[in-house]
Structures are given as C-alpha cells and as structure tokens.
Amino acid sequence: MTEKEKMLAGEMYDPMDPELVEGRLNARLLFQKINLTEDDEKPRRDALFYELMGEAGPNLWIEPPFYCDYGYNIKLGKQVFMNFNCCILDVAEVKIGNNVMFAPNVQIYTATHPLEAEARNSGREFAKPITIGDNVWLGGGAILCPGVTLGNNVVVGAGAVVTKSFEDDVFIAGNPAKVIRTIEN
C-alpha cells in the first residue's frame, strides 16, 4: 500500500511521504487564495472552494479564513454554511450532511497519534473519519475529535469538545460533550 492508501484506510502512515506533502501543499495554495479574496469576489471564492473540496453540493457558503489538510477528503452536502476560521484536518474522510451550520472557530480533527511515546515519536500517525448528519448546528469553538459521528438534527453547544458519537435529535455541550436534552423534531 502507498502511504496515502494507508492514511485513507486508517492505518499508521508517514505524513512526510512526497505524495502527501504535495497534497497538503496544493490545499494550502488553494485556501491561501480563498483567504485572500475580497467580499466582492464571492463567485471566484466559491469556485476555488468547489475546486478544493472532494465533493460539495449546491449553496455552499464558507467565510474565510478557512484551513484544511487536503480538501479532497471533505464531502459536503447541500446548503452547508461555515463561519469564520473553520479548520478541518481531513486526513480521513469528513462527511458533512445537508443544511449544516458551523459557527466561528469550529475545529474538525480526523488526525490522531499513538498514545505510546515511542510510537508517537516515530513521526507516523493515523486518522479516524468524522461524519456529521443533516440539519446539524455546531456552536462557536466546538471541537470534533477523531472518529466521531453526529446524527441528524444535533446541536452542539459553543465550546463543546465532542469525543464520542451521538444519535439524532440531541443538544450536546460540555467538555467532554454530553447530552443536555433531547430535541423534539
């Protein structure tokens, strides 16, 4: 397997592999262009976002600045809104459903490292995919950790650190995030 194939399979891989370094560089060049666009250049900005993302449905709206590792591992549904300063470490697939809203400073992390010092110091890493259902709202400063799945209609409170998966129709908050209450939909 190539290092990229290992990365996408959730296995330990070398992030300094030339193919992966080039992929991150390509993403950075695109999001740097995006982040430098003016508000009156929204059509150009949108075209660059559609070029950056692996998949993106209609009515995508992302406020710069935006940051990611590769971009091609991000799959977005229709009517996705991300406010300022979103960061997605898309080492594994990040799947975001329809009608999803991100407040400012939302962080999505698929990348992770071994807990054992010797393995961690090897420079190798791995990732776990993240899935966000339809009609989800992520509050300001929310962090989603590797491997998390959020069901449909979930609301994540501002500043929450989501370390585990949650089913549909719940409001979660805290560090670590827990169910605050059920939402009637």
- Looking at residue 66, its pLDDT comes to 97
CA distance 63 to 102: 10
Could you tell me the pTM of the whole model?
A: 0.95
Q: What is the pLDDT of residue 136?
A: 98
**Cα(169)–Cα(33) distance, integer angstroms:** 37
DSSP secondary structure string for all residues of 3-64: HHHHHHTT--B-TT-HHHHHHHHHHHHHHHHHHH--GGGHHHHHHHHHHHSSEE-SS-EEPS
Q: What is the pLDDT of residue 71?
A: 97
Q: What is the dihedral of CA 36, 38, 39, 45, to 10 degrees?
A: -50
Q: What is the pLDDT of residue 185?
A: 86
CB 76 within 8 A of CB 56: yes
What residue ranges of the chain have pLDDT lower than 50?
Answer: none
- Tokens read off for 26: 């390509």
Which of 78, 113, 128, 178 is flagged as catalytic?
Answer: 113
Q: Where are the domains of the chain?
A: 3-182
Token digits for 86?
A: 């979103």
Q: Which two structure tokens, joined as six digits, stand for 19?
A: 């193919």
Residue 59 confidence (pLDDT): 95
CATH 3.40.190.80 fits domain 3-182: no
113 noted as active-site residue: yes
